Structure 1
Amino acid sequence: MTENRTPYPVRVDASEDAAASRGLWLVKWLLLVPHYVVLFFLWLAFLAVSVVAFFAILVTGRYPRALFDFAVGVLRWSWRVHYYGYGALGTDRYPPFTLADVPDYPAHLDVAYPERLSRGLVLVKSWLLAIPHYLVLSVFVGGGIWLGTRAGDPDDGWDSGWGAGVSLVGLLVFIAAIALLFTGRYPRPLYDFVMGMQRWALRVAAYAALMTDRYPPFRLDTGGTDPGSAPAVPTPPPPSGAPVAPGGPPTPAAATPGATGHTAGVRT
């Protein structure tokens, strides 16, 4: 399908820690306290930036670049903390204290900067158009979506699965924690599903925060590699003298070695 082949502007990637500790997850809640304190203030600033951006988009059709970069940085920092902590337990490497991307850290988030945004959509994206996604995510992550209500409070969302109360994702992460404790391995199907739901939630978060006009897909892109980050594997040209397949010769993009593009469903 065309939708699956078009990269979404919010890219969420991660790589699983192959040597995860069996018991470190028992104390991560304590180790992350400094991050929770910083994120509390960062999310207060994020909400203020979103208000300013709302009026800027309404008047000019543009999200001020400096504010946009800050908002992306807050999402990125939060995702790294969430990935290390009880939103995924995907790594034992302590998250860095920075808004910038850290290339060698196993969790990444990026949002493509939109040159223009709709002045009309800004009025309805967060509270009306995103409602179907809120309903879907509330089933999986529990308590409804956090953005704008609980995202700024680490004690009410960041360490319990993006929402309040017990969630399916939180339950799966707990099962993974028990598996880590006894086997030292993170069950891959659980990891892939947790990544898919966190990726979905972050896409909706960026959309609701007015950072893109592209409606989030109703699609569970599982695994650590975001479809928008996975290059297509080029199709080699047929050997000389080989018969041409029905439908004509391959297109130049498919036949030329080194052709690039994007495909969905590629996972590490």
Structure 2
Amino acid sequence: MNTPGAPYGPVAVSAELDGRLSRWLWLVKWLLVIPHWIVLFFLWIAFFVVTVIAFFAILFTERFPRGLFDFNLGVLRWSWRVSYYSYGALGTDRYPPFSLGPEPDYPARLDIAYPERLSRSTVLVKWWLLAIPQYLVIAFFTSGVHAGWWSSGLITLLALIAGFAVAFTDRYPRDLFALIVGLNRWVLRVAAYASLMTDAYPPFRLDQGGHEPGTADGR
């Protein structure tokens, strides 16, 4: 797995496309992930509460408490795996684990470098004022983020196109895969920044492909 903190930034998003995908399983994945959506609904409530607590912790101590950071990272990881399995990518038929851990063997992975210090002044404005331009961009990608999965928007449209391609050609177009992962990568970078987990402003850049640029796999 990519090590965060490399030149590509503190948020490392990677994904591997299954070598063979079922032609028709994607039609019922909305049903299969319902248990995950139920759990994630409550996890995202907790995520919001933890972020509020972290806000005050950063304001007074310049630190995001490690245990709270790890919990929020776990929620983002879980959400990314469910999204990748379902209509955020349809990139794997491996059912996502019910886990907050890193799960390095799962084909969708996320890591965020733990910051030793965070800016007190930036924490006051980053999640609303500074992030507004990013929100406007990712709203086009997602039409909003709901309980950790991307709902409608460009990403879901492209994933459905990929699903039809798999159904009729038995192939997931590689260029489409690279674009979909790149869009999800942008969303996850913004999510990490807006939830106070990093001071590194997300780049206005679409880094496509299954691996972060600047790594051995991402070239």
Q: Which residue of 1 aligns with 2:38?
A: 37
2:102 aligned with 1:101, yes or no?
Answer: yes
Aligned counterparts, 1:123-138, within 5 A: 123-138=124-139
Q: Which residue of 2 aligns with 1:256?
A: none
Distance 1:207 1:142 in 2: 19
Distance 1:38 1:18 in 2: 29
2:198 aligned with 1:212, yes or no?
Answer: yes
Q: CA deviation at 1:7?
A: 2.0
Distance 1:103 1:140 in 2: 27
Out of 163, 169, 174, the residue aligned to residue 188 of structure 1 is: 174
Q: Which residue of 1 aligns with 2:27?
A: 26
Higher relative contact order, chain-length normalized (CA < 8 Å, sep 6+) = 2
Q: CA deviation at 1:142?
A: 2.6
Aligned counterparts, 1:1-268, within 5 A: 6-143=7-144, 146=145, 151-152=146-147, 158=149, 162-163=150-151, 166-227=152-213, 230-231=215-216, 266=219
Q: Which residue of 2 aligns with 1:246?
A: none
Q: CA deviation at 1:76?
A: 0.2
The amino acid of 2:94's aligned partner reads R
Alignment partner of 2:216: what SS?
coil
Aligned CA-pair RMSD: 1.5
Q: CA deviation at 1:82?
A: 0.3
Distance 1:186 1:231 in 2: 23
Alignment partner of 2:13: what SS?
strand
The amino acid of 1:206's aligned partner reads A
Alignment partner of 1:12: what SS?
strand
Alignment partner of 2:101: what SS?
coil
Q: CA deviation at 1:139?
A: 2.5
What TM-score, normalized by structure 1, do the two folds share? 0.77
Alignment partner of 1:62: what SS?
coil
- What is the aligned-residue identity percentage? 64
Q: CA deviation at 1:138?
A: 2.1
> What does the per-residue CA deviation read over 1:76-118, in whole Å, with 9 as the maximum and x for residues that have no partner?
0000000000000000000001100112110100000000000
Report the structure, 1 or 2, having the larger helix content: 2
Alignment partner of 2:91: what SS?
coil
Q: CA deviation at 1:66?
A: 0.2
> What does the per-residue CA deviation read over 1:211-268, in whole Å, with 9 as the maximum and x for residues that have no partner?
000101111110101126x239xxxxxxxxxxxxxxxxxxxxxxxxxxxxxxxx53xx
Alignment partner of 1:108: what SS?
strand
Q: CA deviation at 1:63?
A: 0.1
Distance 1:103 1:216 in 2: 24
- The runs of at least 4 consecutive aligned structure 1 residues that moved more than 3 Å come to none
Q: Which has the larger radius of gyration?
A: 1
The amino acid of 1:231's aligned partner reads A
Unaligned 5+ runs, structure 2: 1-5
